[in-house]
Amino acid sequence: MNQPIKKIQESEIFFAWYEKNKRDLPWRQTKNPYLIWISEIVLQQTRVAQGMEYYLRFVRQFPDVKSLAGAAQETVLKYWQGLGYYSRARNLHEAAKDIQARFQGTFPQRYEDILSLKGIGEYTAAAIASFAWNQPYPVVDGNVFRVLGRLYAIQTPIDTGEGKKQYTELARLVMNPQMAGLHNQAVMEFGALQCVPQHPDCDQCPFANRCMGYASGDPQQFPVRQHKARTRDRYFHYMYIIHDKEYTYLHRRTQNDIWKGLFELPLIETERVMDFAELQETPDFKKLFNATGTSVLTIEKSGVKHVLSHQILYATFYRVEIQTENAALKKYLKIGKNALGDYPVSKLIYNYLLEIA
């Protein structure tokens, strides 16, 4: 009998802390599952301070399932521009169309139905179900991993099947099922503001007298991880090509790679760092500029480092003025230079276009 009582007591501690310290965020002022869903997807891989503006802009443009489902993918990506991880936006769009088709435009209430939507995993489904309808599903995200890992000094790595199962079960035990939504919000906020990754203020923590991680003398060793993510280096050479002084070229990324669905300048990717002398000898460069006449070429930006979750991009931007449009360039989208802002692009491209505007 003591164990469940102890868990409820801990839930009450989370509630008391949350009442004093919670941030006033717009998605906490609603039970609308659509708005909660959008906020959860925006905040994946994005900090609240950064994501707030994008969330507000997105829901102003797409205030409900119907408006999102009926939009063109290009428009959805444009309103997501700058947030990164663009598969999130594509999945939102597909899931909205699915809700229109399967649930007549009404966001599903059953956990299993929510989980069946594209781009929604167990964490997001639990968040929506508990925040909108107080259903007793525990959320287990990075903040929750950290809080529970430290509180109970869990040795099982979180990046294993056993670890995820153990944390999910523990989160269920700690949660007060009668106040699931409040509990989940409180634990997540506690991890975001109090039990932070680096240098947590343990002396001021309400769990200081019962936290096993704190008692160990090194709470930052928790949660334990088994593997470190490997990163891949990639080398991008972007060509800002000008024809007839007012036209330029774009193409849309369609492969299952980063930035799928976004537009970008003509790109030559190489396996290693290359200077221009080497680059112009590559088959891709020769194909792109064959029979284009005398070209004026300048290197506008080089060594631009762009860090993604498991990739590091090193980009160089070239400005090239051509006289003749060849067969290779005719396969690209030719637009007026002043129309560049109409197309959704990656943050890497967006930053460059800002500089040359």
What residues contact 108, with CB distance under 8 A and at least 6 apart? 99, 102, 114, 117
Name the E strands within 158-246.
Answer: 232-243
**Which of 174, 183, 177 has its CA nearest to residue 148?**
174
SS3 per-residue string spanning 31-76? CCHHHHHHHHHHCCCCCHHHHHHHHHHHHHHCCCHHHHHCCCHHHH
Residue type at position 281? E
Strand partners, 98: none
Query: Cα dist. 51→16, 25, 142, 256 in Å?
Result: 27, 11, 17, 25
Measured CA to CA, the distance from residue 195 to residue 219 in angstroms comes to: 10
246 is a catalytic site residue: no
309, 214 Cβ separation under 8 angstroms: no
Measured CA to CA, the distance from residue 127 to residue 37 in angstroms comes to: 8
The pair of three-digit structure tokens given for residue 62, joined into one six-digit string: 């797409």
Residue type at position 312? I
CA 169 to chain centre: 26
Measured CA to CA, the distance from residue 319 to residue 264 in angstroms comes to: 14
Residue 132 burial by CB count (10 A; 0-12/13-18/19+): exposed, middle or buried?
buried
The position carrying tokens 């802002």 is: 341
Catalytic residue among 10, 12, 40, 269: 40
Query: Cα dist. 352→44, 108, 128, 223, 355 in Å?
Result: 25, 41, 37, 39, 5
Residue type at position 258? I
- Residues with active-site annotation: 40
